[in-house]
Amino acid sequence: MPSSLWLIPPKDDHPFNKSVQDLISSTIPSDFPHAPKNNFIPHVTVTSEIDPAATYEKSSSPQEWLDNLTLPEFKKEHDEVVIELEQLEAGEPFFKKVTLRAKKDANLIKFTSKCREQALALSDTEAQKWAENEYLPHLSLFYGDISKGDVEKKIGLIELQLGFELGSLFDCCGGTFAMGAKLVLVDTSKEIKDWTPIAQRDCPWVIWTMARGLL
């Protein structure tokens, strides 16, 4: 597996980040005690399939490559990229066993399209078509080699756990969990436990929210 670009919450000690990390690291794995535990940082994948040899290994450093990506000009409090988590889902793929699906916000599509265009050396049309038709933004909560049916049996419980972790934060902030994010480059060819950013870039114009019907 090549490398990936992710959006992650702004700070490790931010209440939203800490709550989601608790869900990933301990709460949801406890629902499936017989499945191997896979810990990873909260993230929404922007694009994957990045070939290091064709991208950041040609630069002086991964950080230089990331810094040189041309991103759309968004503005905090005026023209933001909104990550609105809107539905809890069970899935078949290992990496999408339990996810929070995110709304396909127009600015998120614009952002992911531009990143994929440069990271995979695609045309603007190819990248835009992928972002509009194939990209499925989501925040994963659990990876595992268990059946979708077994996960579906626990969705009611996971909904309660989600409410416990995020309910008070949702109520106090009107549905907005956090302002800002980091765009990070991750070598996803490594083992899951070693998936850590090798470069990062601030994105203050990202907002993390949740649909009211989810909690």
Instruction: Find all residues with CB under 8 Å of 153, minimum gap 6, and list them.
Output: none
Which residues participate in catalysis according to the annotation?
43, 138
pTM over the 0.85 mark: yes
Instruction: Name residue 7's beta-bridge partners.
Output: 44, 183
Q: What is the CATH number of the domain that holds 203?
A: 3.90.1140.10
Number of domains in the chain: 1
The one-character DSSP state at 145 is: S
Confidence of residue 212 (pLDDT cuts 50, 70, 90): confident
Tens of pLDDT, residues 4-36: 999 999 887 889 999 999 999 999 999 999 999
Instruction: Find all residues with CB under 8 Å of 196, minimum gap 6, and list them.
Output: 41, 186
Task: State which residues form the domain around 125.
Answer: 3-214
Instruction: Find all residues with CB under 8 Å of 90, minimum gap 6, and list them.
Output: 97, 98, 148, 151, 152, 155
